[in-house]
């Protein structure tokens, strides 16, 4: 039904031969077993790499903030302080795991895990390349919105169960912020869904091209505004500055994770950094062309035709180019997120809600209607295609 | 086989969650167990091939209803008085043995009736070959704006009414706080 | 072996839990939790019949409407609860015994 990493692998001969061999050895049809193993390995790889990205995120945050504030940043552990996150991780594991006396033990324990589950669950549909996507669900966008809202519940429960004023306020702010900003984010993704005509991420990406004028962000004026609405909403949904009200360290000590220590706190921090990556990935997939490489290098046909490589190698090189394209754009957005954090001051709570409900949500609704009208009026052509048609038409009239 | 494993996992999550909602004495825990049960329901929808329903379940319940419930618990906590305004001792808010016995007996009666019906159904419908899973998104979308367009529009008006109504009801009356 | 009756049994379990919660609890929010469980059991039945009996998509659409109505019901119900708490300082169902404040 859905294209997955298994369906990508199964187009190669070696995969079929291996399954046939294994079926012979084991005495039963090994297709399901191999599919399970491939999924297992791929999930483990994705989770490990993402944990690394989360760890490097903390390093990048400190280094970039240091750069912006003209400091050195971490520079002792490893070359350029690159291994700082490992040192931090070891410190967190070694720390005493404090469980406050009047805390709600069950909720206090499961809240950080819930945050991690929500974030890692949403990684299942992030399209790294046309072949390497864990599962290309046909309701991928919906699934991602649903699963990632587990993080909101986790923040709320973490704040409630700590039995502390600061945590409580932080948790309530966090939950209200996340469910409020879900509205403009969802609406601006839905505008793209209308244009692309499908809820799966591969549909969204395949409707775009490799070059910037083929991306949805430059498709028409409405999507251009929609991208910024999405990005602002996404910043708020991941509790990043200038929307980090839930953990505002100058008003609430550190918000919902005031009482958390050790690895439990580490889970919250890791979840936040990975969620930033996921959100940037979604922005890239929906608005910035996703894994598309310019000039159709990603399919591998060009390499096969010019360099006379065997198709299997060309295809895999194309896959790596696609992953590179996706990850590069995502990390650029990640940089922008950190840059914004260290540039803008924090909003006030009522300003936050005003921004969401009085500005972003109406604009997102307007964009949704605008995209629908655009699709109806211009048959889904982008503004550049219309320009080129117009000039071509005027030339044609001159003859 | 993986279908069966997924079914077993989500079914046990649903049933255990639902029973824990009944058995726990803590309202907050009750909400979290409800979340587990609803999550399991999404898994059950997935085993039924209802992909759009599963995603909708996740979006509506996890992101909306459960957080609303938690908020309501938070905003209304602290009901300590044991007597009502007529001086009669109240049943504790989370129920006592008597209420649970009443609930248990009525559940038992209804369970017997339903089991009687379900037994007939299980006999009547021997299961044939099931169709393969298909994407239901396109079909649901088409049906919603053709055959069921009236219900669709009415439910959108209902949602709008609920939104405005909830906002109006929950807001303190004019002059209360000034 | 997964059949229609296994889904019906799960739905029955959900329904009975919701019923017991509604009868036994005296907290309005807990009663709303019970209502959610009951609505979910109905929605699961529709989806299960769609898969095992007639394979057309109408059951899914009914389930979808059930989910929509459950969301609306939760929003309005909780609004009423919060208003009630502001007036009576209580969310005990037995305190809601008067039609007018």
Residue A130 bridge partners (DSSP) = none
CB B79 within 8 A of CB C91: yes
Provide the CB-side half-sphere exposure for A121 (13 A, CA): 20
Q: What are the domain boundaries of chain C?
A: 4-95
Residue count (chain B) = 178
Tokens representing residue B149 in the block: 């367009």
**Cβ contact B62–A172 (<8 Å):** no
CB C66 within 8 A of CB B155: no
Provide the CB-side half-sphere exposure for A9 (13 A, CA): 21
Residue A90 burial (C-beta neighbours within 10 Å; 0-12, 13-18, 19+)? exposed
Residue C54: DSSP 8-state = I
How is A208-258 classified by DSSP, letter by letter?
S-SSGGGSGGGTSHHHHHHHHHHHHHHHHHTT-TTS-GGG-TTTSSSGGGS
Residue B112 burial (C-beta neighbours within 10 Å; 0-12, 13-18, 19+)? exposed
pLDDT single digits (tens) A215-227: 888 888 888 888 8
Q: Which CATH number fits domain B2-76+90-170: 3.40.50.300, 1.20.120.1200, 3.30.530.50, 3.40.50.1360?
A: 1.20.120.1200
Q: Does C96 touch chain B (CB under 8 A)?
A: no
Distance CA A217, CA A225 (A): 8
How would residue A326 be classed by pLDDT, with cut points 50, 70 and 90?
confident
Distance CA A268, CA A114 (A): 9
Whether the CA torsion B60, B65, B68, B70 is positive or negative: it is: negative
Residue count (chain C) = 101
Rg of the Cα atoms in chain B: 22
Cis bond leading into A242, ω under 30°? yes
Residue count (chain A) = 399
Distance CA A159, CA A260 (A): 10
Distance CA B172, CA C89 (A): 14
| pLDDT at position A399 | 46
Distance CA A207, CA A192 (A): 10
Quote the minimal CA–CA distance from C46 to chain B in Å. Answer: 10
Provide the CB-side half-sphere exposure for A133 (13 A, CA): 28
pLDDT at residue B173 tops 70: no
**Cβ contact B52–A179 (<8 Å):** no
| pLDDT at position A99 | 81
Greatest extent of chain B over all pairs of C-alpha atoms, in Å: 68
| pLDDT at position A64 | 87
User: For the residues A5-24, what does the mean pLDDT come to?
Assistant: 73
| Residues sharing a CB contact under 8 Å with residue A338, sequence separation 6 or more, in sequence order | A60, A61, A64, A65
How would residue B125 be classed by pLDDT, with cut points 50, 70 and 90?
low
pLDDT at residue B177 tops 60: no
Q: Which residues between 58 and 87 in chain C have a beta carbon less than 8 angstroms from any beta carbon of chain B?
A: 58, 60-61, 63-65, 67-76, 78-83, 85-86
| Chain A residues lying within 8 Å of B51, measured CB to CB | 137-139
How would residue A239 be classed by pLDDT, with cut points 50, 70 and 90?
confident
pLDDT single digits (tens) A292-306: 887 767 676 777 777
| Residues sharing a CB contact under 8 Å with residue A133, sequence separation 6 or more, in sequence order | A3, A4, A5, A125, A126, A127, A201, A202
Tokens representing residue A284 in the block: 């890239």
CB C17 within 8 A of CB B41: no
CB A278 within 8 A of CB A54: no
Greatest extent of chain A over all pairs of C-alpha atoms, in Å: 86
pLDDT at residue B168 tops 70: yes
Mean pLDDT of chain A: 81
User: For the residues C60-84, what does the mean pLDDT come to?
Assistant: 87
Residue B171 burial (C-beta neighbours within 10 Å; 0-12, 13-18, 19+)? middle
Q: Does B46 touch chain A (CB under 8 A)?
A: no
CATH number listed for the domain at residues C4-95: 1.10.287.3510
How is B19-62 classified by DSSP, letter by letter?
HHHHH-S-HHHHHHHHHHHHHHHHHHHHHTT-HHHHHHHIIIII
Q: Closest partner residue to C29 among B72, B81, B170, by Cβ?
A: B72
| pLDDT at position C78 | 86
Distance CA A167, CA A253 (A): 8
| pLDDT at position B81 | 61
Q: What are the domain boundaries of chain B?
A: 2-76+90-170
Distance CA B66, CA B28 (A): 11
pLDDT single digits (tens) B28-66: 888 888 888 988 988 888 888 888 888 888 888 887 888
How would residue A1 be classed by pLDDT, with cut points 50, 70 and 90?
very low
User: What backbone phi and psi angles, to 5 degrees, belong to B135?
Assistant: -75, 130
ipTM rounded to 2 decimals = 0.87
| pLDDT at position B175 | 60
Do the two chains C and B touch, given a threshold of 8 Å on CB pairs and at least 3 pairs?
A: yes
Quote the minimal CA–CA distance from B53 to chain A in Å. Answer: 10
Category of A81 on φ-ψ map: left (φ > 0), alpha (ψ -120 to 50) or beta: left
DSSP three-state, residue A134: coil
């Amino acid at each position: 039904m859905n294209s997955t990493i298994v369906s990508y692998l199964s187009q190669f001969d070696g995969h079929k031969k291996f399954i046939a061999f294994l079926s012979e050895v084991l005495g039963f049809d090994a297709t399901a077993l191999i599919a399970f193993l491939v999924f297992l390995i791929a999930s483990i790889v994705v989770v490990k790499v993402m944990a690394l990205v989360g760890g490097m995120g903390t390093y990048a945050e400190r280094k970039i903030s240091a750069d912006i504030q003209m400091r050195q940043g971490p520079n002792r552990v490893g070359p350029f302080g690159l291994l700082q996150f490992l040192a931090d991780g070891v410190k967190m594991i070694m720390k005493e795991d404090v469980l406050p006396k009047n805390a709600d033990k069950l909720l206090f324990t499961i809240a950080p895990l819930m945050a991690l589950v929500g974030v890692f669950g949403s990684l299942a549909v992030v399209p790294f390349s046309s072949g390497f996507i864990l599962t290309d669900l046909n309701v991928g966008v919906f699934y991602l919105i649903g699963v990632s809202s587990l993080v909101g519940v986790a923040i709320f429960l973490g704040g409630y169960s700590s039995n502390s004023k600061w945590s409580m306020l932080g948790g309530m702010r966090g939950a209200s912020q996340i469910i409020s900003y879900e509205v403009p984010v969802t609406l601006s993704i839905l505008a793209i869904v209308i244009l692309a005509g499908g809820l799966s991420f591969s549909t969204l990406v395949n409707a775009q091209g490799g070059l910037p004028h083929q991306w949805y962000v430059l498709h028409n004026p409405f999507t251009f505004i929609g991208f910024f609405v999405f990005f602002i909403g996404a910043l708020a949904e991941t509790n990043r500055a200038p929307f980090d009200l839930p953990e505002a360290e100058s008003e609430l000590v550190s918000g919902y994770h005031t009482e958390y220590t050790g690895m439990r706190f580490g889970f919250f921090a890791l979840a936040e950094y990975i969620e930033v990556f996921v959100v940037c990935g979604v922005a890239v997939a929906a608005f910035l062309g996703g894994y598309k490489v310019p000039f159709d290098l990603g399919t591998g046909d060009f390499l096969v035709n010019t360099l006379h490589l065997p198709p299997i190698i060309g295809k895999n090189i194309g896959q790596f180019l696609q992953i590179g394209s996706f990850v590069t754009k995502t990390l650029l957005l990640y940089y922008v997120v950190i840059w914004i954090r260290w540039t803008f001051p924090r909003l006030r709570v009522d300003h936050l809600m005003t921004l969401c409900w009085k500005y972003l949500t109406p604009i997102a609704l307007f964009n949704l209607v605008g995209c629908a009208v655009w699709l109806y009026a211009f048959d889904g052509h982008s503004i550049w295609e219309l320009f080129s048609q117009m000039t071509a038409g005027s030339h044609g009239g001159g003859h | 086989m993986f279908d069966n494993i997924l079914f077993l996992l989500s079914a046990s999550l649903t049933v255990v969650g639902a029973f824990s909602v009944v058995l726990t004495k803590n309202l907050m825990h009750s909400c979290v167990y409800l979340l587990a049960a609803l999550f399991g329901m999404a898994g059950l929808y997935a085993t039924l091939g209802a992909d759009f329903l599963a995603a909708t379940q996740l979006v509506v319940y996890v992101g909306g209803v459960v957080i609303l419930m938690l908020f309501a618990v938070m905003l209304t906590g602290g009901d300590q008085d044991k007597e009502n305004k007529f001086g009669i001792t109240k049943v504790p808010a989370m129920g006592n043995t008597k209420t649970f016995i009443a609930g248990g007996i009525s559940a038992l009666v209804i369970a017997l009736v339903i089991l009687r019906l379900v037994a007939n159904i299980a006999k009547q419908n021997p299961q044939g070959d099931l169709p393969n899973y298909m994407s239901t998104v396109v079909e649901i979308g088409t049906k919603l704006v053709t055959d069921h367009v009236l219900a669709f529009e009415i439910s959108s008006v209902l949602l709008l009414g609920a939104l405005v109504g909830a906002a109006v009801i929950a807001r303190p009356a004019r002059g209360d706080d000034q | 072996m997964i059949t229609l009756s296994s889904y019906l049994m799960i739905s029955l379990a959900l329904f009975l839990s919701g019923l017991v919660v509604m009868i036994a609890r005296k907290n309005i929010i807990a009663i709303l939790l019970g209502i959610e469980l009951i609505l979910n059991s109905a929605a699961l039945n529709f989806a299960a019949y769609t898969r095992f009996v007639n394979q057309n998509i109408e059951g899914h659409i009914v389930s979808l409407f059930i989910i929509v109505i459950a969301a609306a019901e939760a929003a309005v119900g909780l609004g009423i609860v919060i208003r009630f708490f502001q007036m009576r300082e209580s969310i005990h169902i037995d305190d809601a015994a008067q039609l007018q404040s």
